[in-house]
Structure 1
Amino acid sequence: MEKIKGIQREIYKQDIFVKTLLKQLWEAKDQENFNSINSDYIDAINNHKFLIDDLERKVNLFIKPSEREAMTSELEALRYQLESNYKNHRKATCEVREMIREEERKRLFSHSSDETELRRRPVVSKTAGQRAANVTSDLHRIRSLLADQVERSRLSYEALLRSSDNVNQIREEFHSMRGVISHSKSLLNKYGRREITDNILIILSFVFFYATCAYIIWKRYPF
C-alpha cells in the first residue's frame, strides 16, 4: 500500500510539472525556445502517462477486488486530467506556432524603403501595439487559468491523500474488529464445551450418589 501512495504522490507532482511546462509553452517568444520547452513537455507527459499505467498495474496486483472501487474512481480522474493536458498541449502547439510564424513574417516584410517606412510607421506601430496588447491580455488570461488548474490539482491531491488515509484507517479498524470477533467466537465455543463438561460431571455425581445410597441400603437391609 505504501508503494501505491508513493506512485500517487509522484503522479500529482508530475501533473503540476506538466502544467508548469504548458504555461511556459504559451509564453514562448521564438521557435528555438518553443521547441526546447515542447520537447521537455512531451517527455514529462509521457512520464505522467507511464506513472498512471504503473499505478493501475499496482492496484490490480495488490488491492483486493472488494476494496478496488475507490482506486478505480481515482484512476478515472487521473486519466481524465491526462487527456485534458493532451488537449491543452495540442491547442497551445497550434496557436503559439502560428503566433511565432506571424511574428517572423512581420520581421521579414518590415524591411522596406525609408520613405515607405516613415509613411507606414504610425499605422504599423498602432496595429502592432494593439496586437501586442491583445496577445499580452490573452497570455495573462491563460496564465491565470493555468494557475487555477495547478491550485485545483494541489487541492485535489491533498483531498485524495486524506481520503486514502481514511480508507486505510477504516480497513485497519475492520481487521482489528475481525480479530476481536474471532477471539469472542473462540471464547464462546470454549464456554459451550465447558458447560457440556460440567453437565456431564453433575449427572455422573448424581449417579454415583444414588448408587452409593443404594449400596448402603442393600448392605444394611438385605432382602
Structure 2
Amino acid sequence: MSSLADVNVHICGKEIIKYDLEIKALVQDIRDCPGPHSLLSELNSRVKGTFNKLRLRMQHLEQLAREQDRESDRLVVQAEAENHRRQMLSNQTAWRKANLACKQAIDNMEKDELLHTGEDQSPRQRKATKESLVETSSNITESLMSISRMMAEQVKQSEDAIGLLATSSRTVQETNEEFKSMTGTIHLGRKLILKYNRRELTDKLFIFLALALFFATVLYILKKRLFPFI
C-alpha cells in the first residue's frame, strides 16, 4: 500500500470510529432520556445526522479499497470496511431498542401523571385532560411512525451498501481468477519458449554437423582427384 493511500485509509478509519462513538453516546442518551417526546425527537434527529455522516465515510473507505493497486491491500481495506459495516448495523439495532424503551417509559410516566392529576380535577378539567391525552397519543403515534420510517431508510441504505460490498467481493474474486489464468498462460508460454530455444540449439548443432560432413566429403573428393596416389 502506498504511503498516501495508507494515510487516507487511516484518516477515514479514524473518522468512522469517531462517528461510531458519537452514535453510541447518543443511543445511551436516548436510553436515559426522561422526556418529553420533543427531546427524544431531537436526539433521534442528531443520531440520524451522525448516521448519514458515518455512511458517507463508509462509502469513501470502500472506494479507497477499490482503488488499491495490490490485491492484498484491497482485501485488507475491504475487511476493515466490513467490520465497520457490522458495527453500524449493531448500532442501528441498539438505536431501535433504545427508542422503544424510552417511548414506553415516557408514555407510562405521562399516563401516571394524567391519572394522578385527574383525581383532583373538575369535570371540565378532566375533559381537557382527556383531550390532552388524546393529543399526546396522537403525537406518540406520529413520532413512532417517523422513527419507523427512519429505521426503514437506514435498513434500505444498509442493504444497498451490503449489496455493493458483495459486488466488490465478486469483482475481487473474478480478478483473482483472471490472475490465476494469466499465471497459467505465462507459465505455459515460458515452457514453450524454453522448448523452442532447445529445439533451436539442436537444429544449429545438426546444421553444423551437416556442414562439417559436407566439407569433409568435399575435401576427401578433392584429395582423391588431385592427389590420387597419396
Q: Secondary structure at the residue paired with 1:109?
A: helix
For residue 72 of structure 1, the aligned residue among 72, 79, 96 is 79
Shift of 1:201: 1.1
Decide whether aligned partners of structure 1 residues 139 and 103 sit closer, same or farther in structure 2, where only a CA change above 3 A counts.
same
Question: 1:136 is aligned with what amino acid?
Answer: T
Alignment of 1:105 onto 2:112? yes
Q: Structure 2 length as normaliser, TM-score?
A: 0.59
Tell me how far apart the structure 1 counterparts of residues 215 and 73 of structure 2 sit (CA, whole Å): 61
For residue 165 of structure 2, the aligned residue among 148, 157, 160 is 160
Tell me how far apart the structure 2 counterparts of residues 66 and 221 of structure 1 sit (CA, whole Å): 81
Alignment of 1:196 onto 2:201? yes
Tell me how far apart the structure 2 counterparts of residues 82 and 150 of structure 1 sit (CA, whole Å): 8
Q: Deviations over 1:98-118 (max 9, x none)?
A: 2243155247526736xx452
Tell me how far apart the structure 1 counterparts of residues 122 and 198 of structure 2 sit (CA, whole Å): 109
Alignment of 1:182 onto 2:187? yes
Question: 1:92 is aligned with what amino acid?
Answer: N
CA RMSD of aligned residues (A): 2.9
Shift of 1:167: 1.8
Tell me how far apart the structure 2 counterparts of residues 66 and 209 of structure 1 sit (CA, whole Å): 64
Tell me how far apart the structure 2 counterparts of residues 140 and 152 of structure 1 sit (CA, whole Å): 18
In structure 1, the residue matched to 2:218 is: 213
Instruction: Give runs of aligned pairs for residues 56-95 of structure 1, distance below 5 A.
Output: 65=72, 68-85=75-92, 88-89=95-96, 91-92=98-99, 95=102
Q: Deviations over 1:148-181 (max 9, x none)?
A: 1121122222222222222222211221121111
In structure 1, the residue matched to 2:3 is: none
Aligned length: 159
Q: Structure 1 length as normaliser, TM-score?
A: 0.60
For residue 151 of structure 2, the aligned residue among 139, 142, 146 is 146
Tell me how far apart the structure 2 counterparts of residues 105 and 170 of structure 1 sit (CA, whole Å): 64
Tell me how far apart the structure 2 counterparts of residues 150 and 82 of structure 1 sit (CA, whole Å): 8
Structure 2: where are the runs of 5+ without partners?
1-70
Alignment of 1:131 onto 2:169? no
Alignment of 1:171 onto 2:176? yes
Shift of 1:207: 0.9
Tell me how far apart the structure 2 counterparts of residues 169 and 82 of structure 1 sit (CA, whole Å): 28
> Larger relative CO (CA 8 A, sep 6+): 1 or 2?
1
Moved more, 77-86 or 167-176: 77-86
Shift of 1:204: 1.2
In structure 1, the residue matched to 2:51 is: none
Decide whether aligned partners of structure 1 residues 125 and 97 sit closer, same or farther in structure 2, where only a CA change above 3 A counts.
closer
Shift of 1:71: 3.0
Decide whether aligned partners of structure 1 residues 154 and 83 sit closer, same or farther in structure 2, where only a CA change above 3 A counts.
closer
Question: 1:69 is aligned with what amino acid?
Answer: V
